[in-house]
């Protein structure tokens, strides 16, 4: 665990040269999430019943009880491994993938979020050129030739990265606006060395402040269904579980937000919301 000085963290829009680093950060931060979602689906009563039926049928064809039990489970896991990324995409978003290039910031001057710790300490964060991974220059040449229309940029959403001394420590994804006054957090990731240091809280609260200033009145956050840590995190920040802690039964806007669903219609995310 590395001691992190939050007043030295700069939160800015992701640029094209940051894409490979952000992808690696997400891969590290979301490791095991897909497997936990598959286990969640496999242990649902209806799914267990279907597997039992297929096992009984195979038992008439295969003389081994273990094979009759294992084959349906194995085939279903393979099916979910292939289809789950396409059906769920970025959790909390209906899109099958995230448009990293379209959501990259292209202005010369960085677009940043306010860091409240800087006002408290009176310090100015020190910034330097971000570190790049090997091979990122070739990747940058490939993507820099793409033409980004304003429509694509608007639909792509935004990625904000937390940076300190040239290192990207975490990131938060905000989906493109689909309903007026509504903001949606699709993904929040912090580096393994910087967890439990307040970085995730800083990213969420700073983004909330910006959304409030731009006229948003409600923000949603989608958390992977088996994630107890993510659920506890957003509850501490004042978010309420949609459908469980919802008191505004007549609020039509709340009814428009639904969790992402996978095989047999089982929910893959829990939806949390907060009024700004």
Cα radius of gyration rounded to whole Å, the chain:
21
Residue 141 has pLDDT above 50, yes or no: no
On whether the CB atoms of residues 203 and 170 are closer than 8 A, the answer is yes
Residue 162 CA to chain centroid, in angstroms?
15
Out of 68-77, 141-150, 216-225, least confident range: 141-150
Residue 205 has pLDDT above 60, yes or no: yes
- The pLDDT tens digits of the residues spanning 68-102 come to 889 999 999 888 877 765 545 556 566 667 778 88
Backbone angles phi, psi at 167, to 5 degrees: -105, 135
Counting residues of the chain whose pLDDT is more than 70, the rounded percentage is: 82
Q: Which helix (H) or strand (E) holds 13?
A: strand 10-13
Reported in sequence order, the residue ranges of the chain that DSSP labels E, i.e. its strands, are 10-13, 112-113, 158-164, 167-174, 182-190, 218-224, 240-241, 269-275
pLDDT at 247: 60
pLDDT at 134: 46
What is d(CA 46, CA 52) in angstroms, rounded to the nearest whole number? 10
Mean pLDDT of 134-161: 68
Give the domains, in start order, of the chain with CATH numbers: 6-32+90-275 (3.40.630.30)
Report the DSSP beta bridge partners of residue 168: 163
- The pLDDT tens digits of the residues spanning 245-266 come to 666 555 777 778 888 877 788 8
């Amino acid at each position: 665990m590395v001691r992190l000085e939050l007043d030295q963290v700069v939160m800015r829009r992701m640029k094209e040269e940051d894409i490979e680093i952000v992808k690696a950060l997400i891969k590290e931060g979301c490791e095991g999430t897909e497997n936990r979602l598959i286990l969640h689906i496999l242990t649902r009563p209806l799914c267990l019943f279907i597997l039992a039926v297929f096992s009984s049928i195979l038992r008439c064809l295969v003389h081994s009880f273990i094979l009759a039990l294992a084959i349906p489970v194995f085939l279903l896991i393979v099916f979910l491994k292939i289809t789950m990324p396409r059906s769920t995409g970025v959790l909390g978003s209906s899109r099958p993938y995230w448009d990293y290039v379209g959501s990259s910031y292209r202005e010369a001057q960085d677009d940043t979020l306010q860091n409240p710790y800087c006002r408290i300490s009176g310090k100015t964060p020190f910034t330097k050129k971000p570190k790049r991974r090997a091979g990122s220059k070739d990747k940058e040449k490939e993507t820099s030739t793409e033409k980004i229309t304003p429509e694509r940029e608007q639909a792509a959403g935004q990625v904000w990265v937390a940076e300190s001394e040239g290192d990207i420590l975490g990131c938060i994804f905000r989906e493109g606006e689909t309903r007026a006054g509504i903001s949606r957090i699709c993904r929040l990731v912090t580096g393994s060395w910087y967890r439990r240091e307040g970085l995730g809280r800083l990213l969420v609260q700073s983004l909330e402040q910006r959304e409030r200033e731009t006229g948003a009145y409600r923000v949603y956050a989608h958390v992977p269904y088996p994630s107890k840590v993510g659920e506890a995190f957003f509850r501490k920040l004042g978010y309420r579980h949609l459908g469980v802690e919802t008191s505004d039964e007549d609020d039509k806007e709340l009814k428009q937000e639904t969790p992402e669903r996978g095989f047999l219609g089982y929910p893959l995310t829990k939806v949390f919301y907060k009024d700004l």
